[in-house]
Every structure is written in structure tokens, then in C-alpha cells.
Amino acid sequence: MKKYMMKTARGGTAAGTVYRIRENCGCRNRRPESPEYETGLLKKAAEQLRLELSDSANRATGESRSILEAEIMMLTDPSFLSTACEMVKNGDMTAEQAIIQTGIVMKERFSGVSDRYMLSRTDDITGLVENILRMIRGEHREKLEKPSLIAAIQLSPACISRLDLGMIQGIVTEKGSPVSHVSILAGDCGIPYIYGSAEAVAAINNGDRIIIDDGTLIVDPDDETYSAALEKMSRSARREAPPTEAPECSRTPVFANAGSLNDLRAAVRQGADGIGLFRTEFMFLDREDEPPEEEQYGIYREAASIMGDRKTVIRTMDIGSDKRTAWLQLPDEKNPALGFRGIRVSLDHEHIFRKQLRAIMRAAVHGNFRILLPVITSVWEVNEALRIINDCERELTESGIPCKKPGVGVMIETPAAAMIAPELAEIVDFFSIGTNDLTQYTLAIDHEEESLDRHYDPCHEAVFRMISLVCRAAHKQGITVSVCGELAGSEAAIPRLIRSGVDELSVSSSKIGRTRTNAAAAEKELITACIGTDIASPADGRLVLMEDIPDKTFAAGILGRCFGIVPSNGTVYSPITGTVTMIAESKHSFSVENEEESILVHVGIDTVKLGGRGFEFRVAKGDPVEAGQPVMDADLDFIKKAGLSTMMIVVRCS
């Protein structure tokens, strides 16, 4: 039995047998290891490819068989592998870089010839190089036959999405980061994940029995320790079962992040208000061919059935950076996080973008969808995307295919987007702040880079200032702001997010209950800070600080200390238990009193002008009411159509 202390990306306990993943699964842009290590990778990849090709050649016939045999011949040509091995000898090249360089050298040899057959060999070299890269990166199908703990040097989202996540009990890697996408996926599925010790990972072999217990790894535990860990694991599984008791209800809606249809089902089970971020790329990383429109339509159609009328924000594919796929060959970049990803890929590969948009818009007829565009930095990108969206809608309509164009929003996940939020707010329907990338780009820190953990501060002042700026710009245009990065589920951050004016939070399903409780506590804290007492908010929606209320009398506190609410629906509740002591003649306000408090609720600004239209009371003056009991219904659309603000003001009169 050996114990190692590691770093925790996702906490929890797991005990079981190990499935050892091939080295460096799908990870790019790494630094060279020792020459022996790199040579080993090259040899292992070449051998694995040889076996795969031989297997396919044995099953193939005719022309296909000849092509495969030609590829095997090139691969087993001793000069091919030895050229690559020579290149890694000095320790300044990775196996991947060496294989790419070898391909270039080989192609140069053929470039002078005029023979068409020989020239066509250069295409075969490209194919061979891509296949070896695929092997080195572990981009081949791994199969978990039974529930297992995964061990690897490093994992990529593509690699992990090739596995059945339901079979993964825990993850141990040498290289990792608590804010990587692998970590986010692990968190979404409640999988404990530790990283950070080369020695520990080197000590684990396929089939070993191990225990992960928060930051500790135990390899080959004795029977007693193993049984205790199994017992702890099943206790925490029982705790994480769907909530039987509703968590404290926050006025801030709490949505779920999802990367698959199963995640949507989990979100519904956990009582999410909807889906705030559907990362569609996760469903398509693990494949060789581009996903056809019909297949995508099937997925979104199913998403609509699962979610019913709950709002579902579908983000168009954010491929690139660490999220690579075999069916879309992107350039090998020095800085993939600063390269082709998100909207850049979609606009450059418009045919792929169109397929996804058409599939979403066809399925939108059956659901309550929104479209979200990732990694925006400029207004022109959004305008171009909007033009394509409109074009797809026109095309579908003209072909008589039922479709619906959902509202379109943008991810605010680059400092550029945050700074031009006022301009973006004029052309889109909502914002969703991706704090994972916003932090990485603002702090100039690769969020996959473990050695920078200490500098990666998601609660950095610069990030919060940008969030405030984005909220102000959005609300000025009357659009909403959601936060869908990991910060949305952070207990430390939620009070600041609510204070900044964030309208919605979107977190992994496993965090919904806790996030609601934390948001409810933050709302209480804010209300108490505004009016000096702790009362229930009389409406669902975003809280507004007294000084930000767009009415001088209220903002100056002339009627008493107060706060505002931007209501998300028209139901108005009693803020305290007491008696209804006043209902205004024009029905736009009422008061509730008890021995300690007198609270006035004013629905809308200047709504006295409406002469009672748009308001319906469920109680009468003199009636006793409980805190949280619905007392009136306001027709928010009617108020808006009259050109008035629907903001509710809650004043503490005593």
C-alpha cells in the first residue's frame, strides 16, 4: 500500500480498479519530455498504427486494401521512424512536432518529381502523419468494460468524451488543472479528480486497485482500507442522490450547464430552471466524421422533449483550443487558446455552422431555445453570424421546413467583448458571461496550465469589474446577463455576482441545490444591506441597489430605505407576515405591517398613471398575510407597452 498527496481538481472519494489511458491522450501544445520518453511515444504510436492498419487491411479488399498496404509500407520504411527519432534526440522537440517535421522532409523528397503517381504519395504522407499524430494523442477509441478509475499522464476533453462517463468512478492524472474542461466535465458528473504527481501516476498500472480520497491517492490499499473507502463512496453517492427536500429558493434563477442529453435529464431531475449553457461541441468531439444536420436535429429535438418549456440556451460549437476533433482538422497552433476556436471556426467553416443552425432552428419549433455564440471579440463577427442565422431561417422557410428563430446571445468571455458590451447589447438578445475564459484571457493565464494555479484567481478584481461593466451595459439595453462559467457556482463569488446585477446563474447540475441556497443567502444579505432588515423579496428577479433605482425620490431614500427588483414575472408576494394596511386607489402599490415593520411595495415606476389597469389583487385591505404569500398579479407586458418601467420598489417605512 502506497500513499501519495496530490492536488484536488474535484473532491470526493472513489475506490476501484484502474483503467490506464494511453499517454498524453489528445493533448496538444505540450513541452518536450526526455528524448527517451518522446522516442517511446513515437515507437509505440507507430506500432499501434501498424496493428490498426494491418487489421483493417486484412478485412479490406481491392483498391482499399492496396491503399492500406501502401500506408503500412511507408510506415515500416526504417528511414521514416528513424528520421523522427533523430529529431527528438536533442530534447527540444515533442514526438508530435517530430512527426510533422518528418512528413515535411519526406514530402520535399517527392516535390521535385514530375511523375503523377509519385506526386500522389505526398497525400499519403499527409494521411500517415495525421494517423500517427492521432495515435500519439490517443485519439482512438478507448473502451471501458466496467466501472473504473482512469489514470493518465494528461487527458483532453476529446479523450474523455470518447469514454462512457457513467463508467468513470474517478480520475488521476499527472498534469491537470482544477479549471480545465476535463475538470469541468468531471465536476458535472460528480467524478472525483486528482492530479499533480508524476511519481504517483507512474506507480499505477492497468488493473491496479486504488483509492482517491480528496487529495490523497492510495495505490494497492489493504483490504480494510479498501472496504472503508468503498463504504465512504457509497455514503456520498447516497448524499448526492436527487434532492428530496427543496433547497432554499432564490429569486435568482439557477440554470444548469450541460454537454449531453444525459446532462439535460440530470438538470431536470435536480430541478434546474432550464439550461443556461448547452456545450454542443462535447457531443461531437469523439467522432471521425462531421455530424450531419439530421443527426444534430435528432439531438436538439430530443433536448426540446426533455426540457419542455424550460429555457434552453444552445451554444453553437466551440471547437478549437483544447477541444479538438478528428473530423475538423485545425492548424497546429503555437497558442491554440489564442487561435482558431468558437465563432472564428464557425465563420471560417460556414457550411458546418449552417448545418448546426438549421438543426437548432428546426428543433426550436418544439422547445424554448436560445442560440449562444462563443468566443466573440468584435461586433462584425456577431453581425456576420446574425446574417447567417437569418439566411438559414429564410432558406428553411422558403423550403417549407417548419422552423423558429430563437433569441440570439453572445458569450462574454474575452476582455474585448466585455469592453464593447454596450455595442454588443444593441444587437443581441442576451449575454452569458463565460468566466473560465474571461479569467484566462484577462489574467493572461492558460487555464490548463497547472504550474500557474497560484496566479489563476477567478475572483480577481479585474474580472469582477468587467462583470459589473457588462451588467450595466446589458441592463441599459434591457437585456439579461447570465454567468455560466465555474464562478457561478462559487460560494465566495455568488454574493458579488448578485450585487453586480447578474440576472441568472448557470452551474453543473450537481451544484444546483447549493447554488440556490448560496444565492438566497446572498439576496438576503443584499436586502439587509439595503434596508437594514431581513425580509422576503416580493418578486422573482434581479435585485437593484437603492442608488441604482431610476427614480430620484426612491434613489435618494426620501420615502425610506429601499431596494428595487426587476421582476421576471408578474406575481407579487407579501414581503413579511402581517396585515395589508394599504392598497392604493390606482392599485399599483400596497403596504404590509406587523409590530416591527411597515413595508411598502410599489409596482413599476410612475404606474399611478395607469389608473389601476394592469393590476389585480388577490387580497383585500385588512387581510392577514404570510411572508411569501402571493398578494397581487401585475401585467408586466401591459406596463411595458405603456412605456413604463416594471421595476418594483420595496420601501421600509418604519
The residues that touch Mg ion, with contacts defined as CB under 5 A, are 413, 434, 437
Helix (H, G, I), strand (E, B) or coil at 256: strand
Residue that has been written with the C-alpha cell 473532491 in this structure: 11
Among the candidate windows 19-27, 84-92, 432-440, 623-631, which touches ligand PEP by CB under 6 A? 432-440
**Residue 410 binds what, of Mg ion, ligand PEP, none (CB under 5 to 8 Å, by partner type)?**
none
Identify the helix (H) or strand (E) that includes residue 410: strand 407-412
Task: Give the residue with the Cβ less far from Mg ion, 103 or 434.
Answer: 434
Distance CA 276, CA 507 (A): 8
Residue 597's contacts (CB-CB under 8 Å, 6 or more residues apart) are 533, 535, 576, 578, 652, 654
Distance CA 401, CA 352 (A): 19
E-assigned strands of 2-147?
2-5, 7-10, 13-20
CB 435 → ligand PEP: shortest distance, Å?
A: 5
Q: Are 499 and 531 in contact (CB under 8 A)?
A: no
**Residue 121 binds what, of ligand PEP, Mg ion, none (CB under 5 to 8 Å, by partner type)?**
none
CB 434 → Mg ion: shortest distance, Å?
A: 4
Instruction: Tell me which long-range contacts 184-188 makes (C-beta under 8 A, separation of at least 24).
Output: 184/257, 184/436, 184/486, 184/508, 185/157, 185/160, 185/161, 185/259, 185/282, 186/9, 186/10, 187/10, 187/486, 187/508, 187/510, 187/511, 188/257, 188/258, 188/259, 188/263, 188/508, 188/509, 188/510
Task: Give the residue with the Cβ less far from ligand PEP, 23 or 273.
Answer: 273
CB 374 → Mg ion: shortest distance, Å?
A: 6
CB 336 → ligand PEP: shortest distance, Å?
A: 13
Task: Give the residue with the Cβ less far from ligand PEP, 22 or 279.
Answer: 279
Indicate left, alpha or beta for 478 from its phi (over 0: left) and psi (-120 to 50: alpha): left
Among 138, 192, 276, 485, which residue sits at the site for ligand PEP (rule: CB under 6 A)? Answer: 485
CA distances from 523 to 201, 542, 564 (A): 44, 9, 12
Among 38, 174, 437, 450, which residue sits at the site for ligand PEP (rule: CB under 6 A)? Answer: 437
**Residue 174 binds what, of Mg ion, ligand PEP, none (CB under 5 to 8 Å, by partner type)?**
none
The two beta strands, 480-483 and 504-508, are parallel
CB 437 → Mg ion: shortest distance, Å?
A: 4
CB 330 → Mg ion: shortest distance, Å?
A: 16
Task: Give the residue with the Cβ less far from ligand PEP, 286 or 413.
Answer: 413
CB 337 → Mg ion: shortest distance, Å?
A: 10
CA distances from 483 to 170, 218, 641 (A): 28, 37, 29
- At residue 19's C-alpha, the angle toward residues 18 and 22, to 5°, is 135
Q: How far is CA 41 from the centre of its chain?
A: 32
Which one, of 538, 404, 407, lies nearest residue 480 by Cα?
407
**Residue 183 binds what, of ligand PEP, Mg ion, none (CB under 5 to 8 Å, by partner type)?**
none
What does the chain come to in residues? 654
Task: Give the residue with the Cβ less far from ligand PEP, 71 or 446.
Answer: 446
Q: Which residues pair with 496 in a beta bridge?
A: none
Q: Are 644 and 610 in contact (CB under 8 A)?
A: yes
Among 279, 311, 511, 602, which residue sits at the site for ligand PEP (rule: CB under 6 A)? Answer: 279
318: contact with ligand PEP by CB under 6 A? yes
Among the candidate windows 194-202, 233-241, 434-442, 512-520, which touches ligand PEP by CB under 6 A? 434-442
CB 186 → Mg ion: shortest distance, Å?
A: 17
Q: Which amino acid is at 128?
A: L
Residue that has been written with the C-alpha cell 473507502 in this structure: 229
Task: Give the residue with the Cβ less far from Mg ion, 176 or 434.
Answer: 434
Indicate left, alpha or beta for 218 from its phi (over 0: left) and psi (-120 to 50: alpha): beta
Task: Give the residue with the Cβ less far from ligand PEP, 482 or 591.
Answer: 482
484 belongs to the catalytic site = yes
Residue 36: other Cβ atoms inside 10 A: 11
Which one, of 417, 356, 408, 365, lies nearest residue 387 by Cα?
408
Burial class from Cβ neighbours inside 10 Å (0-12, 13-18, 19+) for residue 452 reads: middle
**Residue 484 binds what, of Mg ion, ligand PEP, none (CB under 5 to 8 Å, by partner type)?**
ligand PEP
CB 413 → ligand PEP: shortest distance, Å?
A: 4
Task: Give the residue with the Cβ less far from ligand PEP, 13 or 500.
Answer: 500
Q: Using the 8-state DSSP alphabet, how is residue 239 labeled?
A: H
**Residue 71 binds what, of ligand PEP, Mg ion, none (CB under 5 to 8 Å, by partner type)?**
none
Residue that has been written with the C-alpha cell 401585475 in this structure: 634
- At residue 588's C-alpha, the angle toward residues 585 and 593, to 5°, is 85
189, 484, 530, 562: the catalytic one is 484
Task: Give the residue with the Cβ less far from ligand PEP, 136 or 360.
Answer: 360
**Residue 279 binds what, of Mg ion, ligand PEP, none (CB under 5 to 8 Å, by partner type)?**
ligand PEP
**Residue 515 binds what, of Mg ion, ligand PEP, none (CB under 5 to 8 Å, by partner type)?**
none
Q: Which of residues 158-217 bind ligand PEP (CB under 6 A)?
A: none
**Residue 72 binds what, of ligand PEP, Mg ion, none (CB under 5 to 8 Å, by partner type)?**
none
Q: Which amino acid is at 204?
A: I
436: contact with ligand PEP by CB under 6 A? yes
Task: Give the residue with the Cβ less far from ligand PEP, 436 or 645.
Answer: 436
27, 85, 181, 588: the catalytic one is 181
SS (H, E, C) 165-177: HHHEEEEEECCCC
CB 434 → ligand PEP: shortest distance, Å?
A: 3
455 belongs to the catalytic site = no
316: contact with ligand PEP by CB under 6 A? no
**Residue 526 binds what, of Mg ion, ligand PEP, none (CB under 5 to 8 Å, by partner type)?**
none
**Residue 446 binds what, of Mg ion, ligand PEP, none (CB under 5 to 8 Å, by partner type)?**
none
**What nine digits make up the cell of 261?**
442529453
Task: Give the residue with the Cβ less far from ligand PEP, 330 or 484.
Answer: 484
Among 15, 49, 95, 484, which residue sits at the site for ligand PEP (rule: CB under 6 A)? Answer: 484
Among the candidate windows 266-274, 433-441, 574-582, 646-654, which touches ligand PEP by CB under 6 A? 433-441
413: contact with ligand PEP by CB under 6 A? yes
CB 491 → ligand PEP: shortest distance, Å?
A: 18
- With CB under 6 A as the rule, give the number of residues binding ligand PEP: 10
Residues classed as catalytic: 181, 484
- The residues of the shown chain that bind ligand PEP, judged by CB under 6 A, are 277, 279, 318, 413, 434-437, 484-485
